Amino acid sequence: MPDPVLIADHGAVRVVTVNRPDKLNALNRATLEALHAAFDAAAADEAVRAVVLTGAGAKAFVAGADIAEMSGLSPIQARDFSLVGQRLMRRMERMPKPVVAMVNGFALGGGLELAMCCHLRIAADSAKLGLPEVTLGLLPGFGGSQRLLRLVGRAAALEMTLTGAPVDAARALALGLVNRVVPAAELEAHTMELAATLAGNAPLAMRGILDAIHVGGECAIDDGLEYESAQFGLAFATEDAREGMAAFLERRKPAFNNR
């Protein structure tokens, strides 16, 4: 049986690929666990400065959770499956390195939930995104209702989840569900270019930004401002901050060393 997740490094960019193209990359429990292990490894590897997540094949990023596996679950087992997925999504969301979703096709159900956990999303113009769980008599279980609400607002989140109808890439861009839409043939090039740009930035500064924005999205603004000031101060303890400011003053490109 092939590995459900493939790993490939391109310089400081790690590409994580969900590898079940015959199932449109549907998420079963083994795939969720393999993804969790892959993101743990990426977080721990100092050579990795940015991560790209995508799906194998031309049809799907991830077309959802594995219905064949889910159909036999009891209510208690279903809750446990939901918690496994939510732990993965939370782990990805709190990654100390930027994660870019390369949405190369269908991102439905658990697939859209997976993409929404990434910090940035680039979609092919042929992509379709949605949460169709209601058409199965279900609702999102990996955090989709909560993250969609925060990304697109109450009205659009209710429309997408109550109808189950997917949106095309252009509509997803208008809603703020994705950051960029590019021609399908150019998706990999655009995504890897963005990831390489991120990988060239100061890693500790990016970690502070990711933390500050994540914390700020979950607390009152005064608490968020206090957290930002603390992160700003900590940045001045890093060699990278000194290098970045010196490079600016000397009109040269900085060389960041993650210290």
Q: Which residues are catalytic?
A: 113, 133
DSSP class of residue 73? -
246: buried, middle or exposed (CB in 10 Å: 19+, 13-18, 0-12)? exposed
**Strand, coil or helix: what is 80?**
helix
Which residues lie across from 18 on neighbouring strands?
5, 55
H/E element holding 249?
Answer: helix 239-249
Spatial strand order in the sheet of 128-130: 60-62, 106-108, 128-130, 167-168
What b/e string do you get for 153-167 counting C-beta neighbours within 10 Å, with b at 16 or more? eeebbeebbeebebb
Alpha carbon separation from 80 to 18, 93, 141, 144 (Å, rounded): 22, 20, 10, 16
